[in-house]
């Protein structure tokens, strides 16, 4: 039998040995192994990858992807009470219509010459969000809430010259993981220590005594969220900001913008830097993605000079009564200075900023208040109904927004078992947090938004009553 030559992967030319060698020769590397020798041994896989057979054609790839997608259960055909970082909110049809226009969809990554209203839309995003959170300067959004928090912490460290941040222990594990990544390993020059502040288990907010004990001349910033990861409205936000200020530290507040029609904006209780998600502002849940994060500050040159990304400016033109829009402070970013930039910029979600601008303009101040009140009413109705079930408790039953903890310890069932039973009934229960926060018992984090009707909540309660009684 004649010897067959190695088959190239259809999308990877370097799968052929001669092409791979030619590439190594071109860059002067002796081997592929030499390219990765800087990666610590502890971080490298020591066993072969257990991969399925390769897909050799586009037809096979499409068939595989379609079969995998058919296994999904989505939040349109199922009733979902999941949140914890990606929330199901109503997205008006006009948002999709405007975002999908070629003026935005095509040149959003283009240069200033290809701008067809993009910069003005970005300016509207920044202006409206600034009004909502009571801040003057708003940068273009970054990849996620966690990324925004990480950039804010690094900004605070540069402003203060300190290398420590205080963060709530009851934090979103994913967001905390991203923050730790931004604070870098201890071996690196720009390492920032992440110090966890204990919770007040009666209110779900921060323990002020523990915060006072951990504040020091090393503290660059105190980070808090209103509402928190568990949906709790921090009762001592102003006091926390005052304590941070007295210690010479910055106050970084995380805020869900959809809550600000009914909750005080972060600027009003003393926040220096504000971060949060943009996904609630007109962005669909795209297989759990579609997230974005904003960062904002007061209009102070100290802060403006430390932004990692772009700001959008407005200026008069030579034509009377006409204005121009453009990005500002690009020179201080990684686009302008590469590795010497204030911080790295990438994985941006600038198209979502246009969706956010359209959504905020549709709601206006009255709309935000109406949506906020509706979410409050329905979430608290759900908490009351669930708390009345046998063996079920709501630990923080008073001050919460959109999300709340449900403790199933008294039922004798695990959250996993309850969620499995709910899924069989076409319902996604709350996120299981029993492993990440064991002190809360067999707890789940439930999310209720404006999309949930009273009938939806009653259906959940009836299903849970049935599941628990079995």
> What is the average per-residue pLDDT within 435-450?
97
109 pLDDT higher than 80: no
- Mean of the per-residue pLDDT values for the chain? 91
| Phi, psi dihedrals of residue 385, rounded to the nearest 5° | -65, -45
Residue 244 is predicted with a pLDDT of 98
Residue 286 is predicted with a pLDDT of 85
Dihedral angle of Cα 303, 304, 310, 313, to the nearest 10 degrees: 140
Quote the CA–CA distance of 130 and 118 in Å, as a whole number. Answer: 18
Neighbours of 379 (CB within 10 A): 23
More confident residue, 258 or 4: 258
Question: What domains are defined for the chain?
Answer: 79-88+367-469 (3.90.1150.10), 94-360 (3.40.640.10)
> What is the average per-residue pLDDT within 104-122?
75
| Most confident range, picked from 70-84, 303-317, 441-455 | 441-455
470 pLDDT higher than 90: no
Q: Write out pLDDT tens, residues 382-435.
A: 999 999 999 999 999 989 999 999 999 999 999 999 999 999 999 999 999 999
Q: Picking from 33-37, 267-271, 294-298, 378-382, which range would have the lowest pLDDT averaged per residue?
A: 33-37
440 pLDDT higher than 80: yes
Residue 263 is predicted with a pLDDT of 96
178 pLDDT higher than 80: yes
Q: Write out pLDDT tens, residues 23-71.
A: 999 999 999 889 888 888 888 888 988 888 878 788 999 999 999 988 8
Quote the CA–CA distance of 110 and 104 in Å, as a whole number. Answer: 10
Reported as half-sphere exposure (CB side, CA atoms, 13 A), residue 261 has a value of 18
3 pLDDT higher than 70: no
Q: Quick one: how far is CA 7 from the chain centroid?
A: 42
Q: Are strands 250-254 and 221-225 parallel, antiparallel or unpaired?
A: parallel
Cβ-based burial of 399 (10 A; exposed 0-12, middle 13-18, buried ≥19): middle
More confident residue, 398 or 123: 123
Q: Say which residues have a Cβ less than 8 Å from residue 145's Cβ, sequence separation at least 6.
A: 85, 175, 254, 275, 276, 277, 291, 293
Residue 181 is predicted with a pLDDT of 93
Residue 1 is predicted with a pLDDT of 44
Query: Among residues of the chain, what percentage have pLDDT more than 90?
Result: 70
């Amino acid at each position: 039998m004649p010897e067959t030559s190695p088959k190239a992967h259809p999308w990877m030319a370097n799968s052929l040995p001669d092409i791979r060698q030619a590439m190594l020769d071109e860059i002067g590397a002796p081997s592929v192994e030499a390219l990765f020798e800087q990666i610590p041994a502890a971080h490298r896989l020591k066993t072969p990858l257990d991969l399925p057979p390769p897909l050799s054609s586009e037809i096979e790839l499409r068939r595989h992807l379609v079969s995998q997608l058919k296994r999904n259960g989505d939040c349109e055909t199922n009733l979902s009470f999941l949140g914890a970082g990606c929330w199901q909110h109503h997205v008006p049809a006009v948002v999709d219509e405007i975002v999908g226009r070629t003026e935005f969809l095509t040149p959003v990554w283009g240069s200033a010459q290809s701008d067809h209203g993009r910069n003005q839309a970005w300016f509207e995003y920044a202006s409206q969000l600034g009004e909502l959170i009571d801040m003057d300067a708003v940068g273009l959004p970054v990849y996620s809430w966690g990324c925004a928090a990480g950039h804010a912490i690094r900004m605070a460290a540069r402003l203060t010259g300190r290398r420590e941040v205080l963060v709530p222990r009851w934090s979103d594990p994913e967001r905390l993981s991203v923050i730790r990544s931004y604070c870098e390993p201890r071996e690196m020059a720009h390492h920032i220590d992440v110090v966890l502040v204990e919770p007040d288990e009666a209110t779900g907010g921060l323990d002020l005594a523990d915060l006072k004990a951990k504040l020091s001349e090393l503290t660059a910033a105190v980070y808090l969220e209103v509402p928190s990861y568990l949906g709790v409205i921090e009762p001592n936000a102003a006091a926390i900001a005052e304590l941070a200020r007295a210690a010479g530290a910055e106050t970084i507040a995380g805020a869900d913008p959809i809550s600000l029609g009914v909750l005080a904006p972060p600027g009003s209780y003393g926040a220096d830097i504000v971060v949060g998600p943009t996904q609630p502002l007109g962005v669909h849940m795209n297989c759990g993605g579609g997230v974005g994060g904003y960062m904002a500050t007061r209009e102070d040159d100290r802060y403006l000079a430390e932004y990692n990304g772009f700001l959008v400016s407005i200026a008069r033109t030579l034509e009377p009564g006409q204005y121009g829009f453009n990005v500002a402070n690009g020179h201080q970013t990684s686009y302008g200075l590469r590795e010497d930039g204030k911080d790295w910029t990438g994985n941006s979600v600038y198209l979502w900023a246009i969706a956010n601008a359209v959504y905020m303009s549709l709601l206006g101040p009255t709309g935000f208040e109406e949506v906020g009140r509706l979410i409050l009413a329905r979430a608290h109705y759900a908490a009351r109904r669930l708390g009345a079930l046998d063996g079920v408790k709501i630990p923080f039953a008073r001050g919460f927004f959109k999300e709340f903890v449900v403790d199933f310890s008294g039922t004798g069932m695990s959250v996993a078992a309850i969620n499995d039973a709910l899924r069989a009934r076409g319902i996604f229960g709350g996120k299981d947090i029993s492993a990440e926060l064991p002190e809360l018992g067999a707890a789940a984090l439930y999310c209720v938004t404006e999309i949930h009707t009273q009938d939806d909540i009653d259906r959940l309660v009836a299903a849970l009553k049935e599941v628990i009684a079995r």
